[in-house]
Amino acid sequence: MAKAHISATNATDKTIRAIDRKRERERHFILNKARDNAEEFATRVTQRLIDREVLEINSVQAVQDAFVQQLTSLPKMDDFDIQMKVAPIRTLIQDPNILSLYLTGYVIEDLINHPAIEDVFGEDADIYRAIDSIFKVLRPPQ
């Protein structure tokens, strides 16, 4: 019977694949949970951004609807589209929540041009922390 040869490279590859699978499962779980509770999360995110004085808006309902639309469409989006949105801010924080990172990119790049938005205040990290304070409950404990 031949002995299986296990090299350091093989063990490293297995570890990397296991980490990738874990992150992919976490990503799907978070995006699907956000889609299922889009109304509640949109309300909470909008309120948190207003409370922390990140957004100055003239229509709360319009901003909530914009967040609901994003949350419901995320699980159907291509991974490429999500990666393109988060690429400029990927290094904002270590081990980011993909949903919080995506919505931060959405606020910075797209929502700022929404007719209901008067102004966006704060740095990218402040916006991320405000959004992540809502979505951190979706991440499984490390």
The pLDDT profile of the chain, 142 residues, written as one tens digit per residue, is 455 555 656 778 888 888 889 888 888 899 999 999 999 999 999 999 999 999 999 999 999 999 999 999 999 998 899 999 999 998 988 888 899 999 999 999 999 999 999 999 999 999 999 999 999 888 766 5
Question: Can you give the residue range of the structural domain that contains 49?
Answer: 8-138
Question: Looking at residue 50, what is its pLDDT?
Answer: 94
pTM (predicted TM-score): 0.84
Torsion angles phi and psi, residue 124, rounded to 5? -55, -40
- Please check whether residue 1 lies inside any domain of the structure: no
Helix (H, G, I), strand (E, B) or coil at 117: strand
**How many Cβ atoms are within 10 Å of 76's Cβ, its own excluded?**
9
- Please check whether residue 86 lies inside any domain of the structure: yes
Strands 117-120 and 55-57: antiparallel
- Please check whether residue 2 lies inside any domain of the structure: no
- 17 alpha carbon, distance to own chain's centre: 22
Contact 107, 131 (CB under 8 A): yes
Helix (H, G, I), strand (E, B) or coil at 55: strand
Beta bridge partners of 56: 119
User: 105, 100, 124, 119: which is closest to 41 by C-alpha?
Assistant: 100
**Tokens 């949350």, located at residue:** 71
The total domain count for the chain is 1
